[in-house]
Amino acid sequence: MGHRHEGPLLTAPAVRIAGALLLAVLAGCASLPPVAVRAPSSAFLDTRDTSLGRIAAASLSEAGRSESGFRLLPTGDFALDARLELARRAERSIDAQYYYVQRDSVGLQFLRELRNAAQRGVRVRLLVDDLYTAGGDELFHSLATIPNVEIRFFNPLPSRRASVSGRLLFSLHEFDRINHRMHNKLFIADNRMSISGGRNMANEYFMRSAHANFIDLDVLAAGPVVRELSGVFDGYWNSDYAYPATSVVSTAGDASHGPGRFDRLAIDIGPTLELKTIDPLNPVSVAAELSAGKISLTPAQASVLADSPAKVVRRDRGEHVSTVTRSVLEAFGEARGEIRIASPYFIPGQEGLTVLTGAIERGVRIRVMTNGFGATDEPLVHQRYSHYRREMLRAGLDLYELRPDPAHDAANLGNFGSSSARLHAKVAIIDSKTVFIGSMNLDPRSTWSNTEMGLLIESEKLAGQIKSVLRNDRNASLYRLRLASNGESIEWVATDSSGATRVIRDEPDSHWLLRLKTFLLQPFISEDLL
């Protein structure tokens, strides 16, 4: 399966229409089952005396009453270790919300830890967007039959085919609905500690893929912001668009054999987690700090940004512009000195371009880091982004693109080995003091089609830490783009580890056949779908 899982669901509209008509005639249209009775539930509030509650309190001893505490998780193995350890230490509840849970070593290990927690008596609520559950119906159903576990699928597709392509094809008659997805990523243990950011639960998000791995960023939080995040989770969990997995899946076998069936389906297919890297920001792992009874957190004021789950059914653009996108653009509009952006899929659109160029005209320096052609897993998105490059460079924006070959400068983010590097972090820093970390890309899909969430944190320390991790100047993992002397052509400046530079005048790391394919397809794809 591809590595992005966030791009356009389908391409040519004519193919969608013809396919839908053909399926309606030959196979009949699949449909969702009647809406099942959903028992509403909410986050537990009486968790102060849990182990995690006591550790959170100790870790926040220097924070103000309205402040929360934060620790960045830049490396994949440390970020996975943090989730697994919080799951192991949870005593009352685990609430997890993800766009994508893969059936690979990371995804299965994550699900096994949820099962283990449930067997200890912990209430587990798992909310997964339904787009990429294809082929996993029986696995999720078997886990949902275990006591203390409840699983819901967000905005389910009517077809339950085993492949993503087949499921999409047999759901085309509801394309306007299924094109809207829940892109949120959130993990909460005992309503006392949370992890949010850009990572889904799959190998490539935690440096465990042999093919390509993502440079990403999560943030662990404790304090008042966690209760706000729990409120966001409850809103999605109790919404009309979250279907109990057991009501959607109709071919999962005998539910009476749930625990044993889950064990067979979730058998370990990979090595156990080892912390092979050194966290560039923290000397020890979250697990070690939890064992010591206190986590090193940075106190700060923060705001929770979250789209409404009802965004998936709104049709008028004015009604369902992303709350997250709007809030981030408004924060950009208040910048006075500098904006730094990392977005793997960057299509600013005319509105975003207006905000960015307006900031530059006020004297704000803007630096954007995104994937280069060789690093992206969505060439069609890159093709549309490339339409904006010349205008952004002319306006004075500093533009950097990630190279697919991991250089020494990326070593502090993980051991890439022979795999390619791809940017997946969704981060912005404003005036070296305001930080956005979340699930939102700066592209039309995040604005119009996907639900998103994130944190806006006021912290010079966290801003400085992110700068040190995702640095731009003289980074051998990046190309720096500039206009050629003719003012029309684009040049890519590559810097090696010694500081020597070379200039590339054609799109680097690209293959002519892939360029031709994207060129031929892009006229048929609306920018709003990317």
CA 273 to mean position of chain CA atoms: 21
- Residue 189 tokens read as 């243990």
CA 399 to mean position of chain CA atoms: 22
User: What are the E-state strand segments in 381-485?
Assistant: 398-402, 420-423, 427-430, 434-438, 450-451, 453-458, 478-483
Distance CA 72, CA 412 (A): 14
Task: Report the chain's terminal Cα–Cα distance, integer Å.
Answer: 18
- Residue 265 tokens read as 């389906």
Distance CA 507, CA 502 (A): 14
At 72 the three-state DSSP class reads strand
Distance CA 106, CA 104 (A): 6
Q: What is the DSSP string of 130-159?
A: STT-TT-HHHHHHHHTSTTEEEEEES--S-
Distance CA 507, CA 509 (A): 7
At 68 the three-state DSSP class reads strand
Listed residue (181, 155, 162, 152) closest to 245, CA to CA? 152
- Residue 356 tokens read as 């960015």
Q: Which residues are catalytic?
A: 183, 185, 190, 424, 426, 431
The H or E element that residue 427 is part of is strand 427-430
User: What are the E-state strand segments in 269-309?
Assistant: 298-306
Could you tell me which residues come within 8 angstroms of residue 454 by beta carbon, excluding any fewer than 6 positions away? 196, 305, 306, 324, 328, 426, 436, 437, 438, 439, 440
Strand partners, 187: 96, 195
Distance CA 530, CA 509 (A): 22
Give the largest CA-CA distance in the chain.
72
| Residue 527 near residue 349, CB atoms below 8 Å | yes
